Structure 1
Amino acid sequence: MDMQGNRTLTVTQQQAWEALNDPEVLKLCIPGCDSIEATGDNAYELTNGIKVGPVSAKFKGKLQLTDISAPDSYTINFEGNGGAAGFGKGSAKVTLAPQEAGSELAYTVHAQVGGKIAQVGQRLIDGVAKSMAESFFKRFDEEMKRRYPPPEGAEPAAEEPGKLKKMWSKITGGGDAKAES
C-alpha cells in the first residue's frame, strides 16, 4: 500500500516538529493508540488497536526515526504484529516546510500488511488507512490549537467585513475610494 498527502498546519515548522517528536502528542493523535514509550534514541514501542472490516486486533509495534534533518524531515520506520490478525510494516517520509501562516506537512507512506488483515482486500485496507490519516490530522490540528491558541484579539481579516473600508476612511478623512473630479 502506498499513500501520500499534505496538510497545511496553523503552527510554525518548529512547533510542528516538536509535537511530531513528542510521544504524548502522538498517543493523543494516533487513532487507537493505547501507549507509546521511548525505548532509546528516536525509538519507540507502541500498542495500537486497529479494526479493518471484520478483523480487529491489538498490535504491538516499534517505531524508529531515521534520516533526521530537524526541523525539516525524517523517516518513520514501523513494524507491528497483531498475532493471528496479521502484521504491518513499512516507512513514512515526513517533511515540514515553513509557510506564511504556519507550516506545511507532506508525507509519503509505503506499507505492507499480511495475515487476516490482508485477506479483507486492498480497497478496504486503503480506505481504513486514509480514514486513520484524516483522524490523525484532525486530532493533531485540535491539539496544536489547544497548545498554541491564537493571540487574543487576533481575528482573520475575512471575519471583519469592511475592515479595509474603515481603514481607508481613516486614511482619507472619511472619503471613499472614488476619485473626485
Structure 2
Amino acid sequence: MEIKGTHTFSAPRDVVWDALMDPTVLAKALPGGEKLEKVDENRYKAAMHVRVGPVQGRFEGEVELTDIQPKERYRLRVSGQGTPGFVNGEGTLELQDTEDGGTLLQYAGEAQVGGRIASVGQRLLDSTARSLVRQGLQALEEQLQARLHPPEEAPAAEAEPAPANGGQAKAASATEGDATEGGDAQASAPSTSKDASTSTSSTSAGTGPSATRVAVQVARDVAQDLASDYIPPEKQERVFFFMLGALAMLLFTVLVRLVQRD
C-alpha cells in the first residue's frame, strides 16, 4: 500500500518542525490514538484503534525517526500488531518554505498489512489510509494555529469599591452567620476542588481524536471515494439530496397509504 501527498500549513517551517518532533502534539493529531510514549531517543511506543470496513481493533507498536535533518526532513518507520493483524511501514517527510510564509509538507511511504485487516480489499485500505492521513494533518494544523494564536487571557476584574460602614457591618454579620451554620460548607469545598482537579487531569491525559469520531469520518470519506467511480465529486452532493428527497417522498406515500387503509 502506497501513501503519498502534500499539505500546506499556515505556519513557519520552524514551528511545523517543532510540532513534528513533539510526541505530545503528534499524539493529539493521531486519529484514534490512545498513547504515544517516548522510550528512547527518537523512538516511541504507540497504540491506536483502527477500523477498516467491518474489521476493527487495537494496534500496538513502535515508531522510530531516522535520517533526521533538522527543519528539513526525516524518515519514519512504523511497526505494529493487534487483533486485526499487523502493519509495517516506512516513509519520509520533507518540509519546504512557501512564498506566503507557510510550509509545504511532502510525505511518501509504503506499508504492508496482513491478517484480517488485509481481507477487506486494497481499495478500501487505500481510502481508509488517505482519510486517516487527512484527519491527522487537519488536527496538526489546528494545534499549530493554537500555538501561533493562543487564546487571550480574560482581563482581571476591576476592584470593587469598599462598602460603606453599613455594608461592612452587613458583610461581617453574614460572615458570622456562615460560620455558625457548621462546617458542612467548609467540608464540601475540598471535595469540589478535588473533583475539579481530577477532571482537569483526565482531560489533559487525552490523546488523539476519539475512535468513534474517526470511524464516522473514515466511513464518510470512503463512501465519497468509492462513489467517485460512478459519480463525479462535483455532482455527488446534488445526487445525495436528490436521493434524500426521493426517500422522503417514498416514506410520505407509505404513510398516506397506511392512513387511508385505516
TM-score, structure 2 normalization:
0.56
Q: Which residue of 1 aligns with 2:112?
A: 112
SS of the aligned residue for 1:11 comes to coil
Q: Which residue of 2 aligns with 1:6?
A: 6
CA shift at 1:40, angstroms? 0.4
* 2:129 corresponds to 1:129: yes
CA distance in 1, matches of 2:43, 2:110: 19
CA distance in 2, matches of 1:137, 1:89: 21
Q: Which residue of 2 aligns with 1:166?
A: none
What per-residue deviation string (whole Å, max 9, x for no partner) do you get for residues 108-163 of structure 1?
Answer: 0210000000000000000100000110111111111111129x9xxxxxxxxxxx
Q: Which residue of 2 aligns with 1:94?
A: 93
Higher strand share: 1
RMSD: 1.3
Gaps of 5+ in 1: 153-181
What residue identity is the alignment partner of 1:125? L
* 2:39 corresponds to 1:72: no
Q: Which residue of 1 aligns with 2:140?
A: 140
Q: Which residue of 2 aligns with 1:56?
A: 56
CA distance in 2, matches of 1:116, 1:75: 28
What residue identity is the alignment partner of 1:14? D
Gaps of 5+ in 2: 153-262
CA distance in 1, matches of 2:125, 2:70: 32
What residue identity is the alignment partner of 2:58? K
TM-score, structure 1 normalization:
0.80
CA distance in 2, matches of 1:132, 1:116: 19
Q: Which residue of 2 aligns with 1:20?
A: 20
CA shift at 1:36, angstroms? 0.3
CA shift at 1:98, angstroms? 1.5
CA distance in 2, matches of 1:13, 1:82: 35
Greater CA drift, 91-100 or 51-60? 91-100
What residue identity is the alignment partner of 1:108? A
Q: Which residue of 1 aligns with 2:81?
A: 81
SS of the aligned residue for 1:31 comes to coil
SS of the aligned residue for 1:127 comes to helix
Aligned-residue identity in percent: 37
Higher Cα Rg, which structure: 2
CA distance in 2, matches of 1:32, 1:82: 14
What residue identity is the alignment partner of 1:149? H
CA shift at 1:2, angstroms? 0.4
What per-residue deviation string (whole Å, max 9, x for no partner) do you get for residues 20-64 of structure 1?
Answer: 011111111010000000010100001100000011110001001
Dislocated runs of 4+, deviation >2 Å = none
What residue identity is the alignment partner of 1:143? Q
* Count of equivalent residues: 150
